[in-house]
Amino acid sequence: MPVDPKTLHLPPQPGVYLFRTDAGRVLYVGKATSLQDRVRSYFAKNPDRSMIPTLVSKADRVDCIVTGTPNEALILERQLIREHKPRYNSLLKDDKSYPFIALSTHENPRILYTRNPPKDAKRWGPFSDAKAAKQVIKLLRRFFGIRDNRDNLPFGYIESAETDDYAQRIKAVESVLDGDALLLIKNLQQEMDTYSNNLQYEAAARSRDLIAAVQQTLAQQVIHSRFYQECDAVGFANQGDLATIVLLSAEKGMIVGQSQYPLMHRGDVTESVCRVLSEHYDRRKPPKTILVPSPIGEWMESWLTERRGAKVEVRNPQRGELTKLRRMADANAEAQLMRNQLKESGSLEQRAATDGAQVLGVDTLNHIVCFDMAQLQGEERVGASVCLRNGRPDKKSYRTYTVKDSSMDDVRMMRHVVERWVKRQEEWPDLLLIDGGLVHLNEIHNLLLELNLVEQIPLASLAKREETIHRMDREDIVLDRRGRVLVFARDEAHRFVNNFHRKRRGRKGLADPLEAVDGLGAKRLQALLRHFGGRKGINHASQEDLAAVEGIGRALAERIWREIH
Residue 533 is predicted with a pLDDT of 75
- At the top level of CATH, the class of 353-504 is alpha beta
Q: Please give the radius of gyration of the chain, using alpha carbons only, rounded to the nearest integer.
A: 35
Q: Do domains 231-345 and 353-504 have the same CATH topology?
A: yes
What pLDDT digit, counting tens, does each position of 158-205 carry?
Answer: 444 345 567 777 877 777 776 666 666 777 778 888 888 887 878 788
φ/ψ (deg, to 5) at 18: -130, 120
DSSP structural state of residue 147: B
Residue 365 is predicted with a pLDDT of 92
Residues with Cβ within 8 Å of residue 278, at least 6 apart in sequence: 300, 303
314 beta partners: 290
Right CATH number for 512-564 from 3.40.50.300, 1.10.150.20, 1.10.10.10, 3.20.20.80? 1.10.150.20
What pLDDT digit, counting tens, does each position of 217-260 carry?
Answer: 555 554 455 555 688 889 998 887 678 888 888 776 566 677 88
Q: How far apart are CA 510 and CA 504, in angstroms?
A: 9
DSSP for 153-182, written as a single string? TTS----SGGGGGHHHHHHHHHHHHTT--H
User: Helix crossing, 201-218 with 166-177: angle to 10°?
Assistant: 70
What is the four-CA torsion angle of 527, 532, 538, 544, rounded to 10 degrees? -90
Q: Are 461 and 441 in contact (CB under 8 A)?
A: yes
Residue 457 is predicted with a pLDDT of 93
Residues of the chain with pLDDT under 70: 1, 48, 71, 90-98, 125-130, 132, 149-165, 178-184, 210, 212-229, 241, 252-256, 266, 320-321, 341-348, 376-380, 407, 505-513, 515-516
- The hierarchical CATH code for the domain 5-84 is 3.40.1440.10
Residue 391 is predicted with a pLDDT of 87
Residues with Cβ within 8 Å of residue 44, at least 6 apart in sequence: none
HSE-up of residue 333 (Cα within 13 Å, Cβ side): 26
Residue 97 is predicted with a pLDDT of 55
φ/ψ (deg, to 5) at 392: -105, 145
Task: Answer whether 0.85 is exceeded by the pTM.
Answer: no
Q: For the purposes of burial, counting CB atoms within 10 Å of the CB of 37, is it exposed (0-12), middle (13-18) or buried (19 or more)? A: exposed
Residues with Cβ within 8 Å of residue 203, at least 6 apart in sequence: 195
φ/ψ (deg, to 5) at 68: -75, -35
Task: Give the other-Cβ count within 10 Å of 349's Cβ.
Answer: 17
Task: Give the other-Cβ count within 10 Å of 38's Cβ.
Answer: 18
CATH 3.30.420.340 fits 231-345, yes or no: yes
φ/ψ (deg, to 5) at 415: -60, -40
Domain boundaries, the chain: 5-84, 100-222, 231-345, 353-504, 512-564
DSSP structural state of residue 41: G
Q: Are 126 and 224 in contact (CB under 8 A)?
A: yes
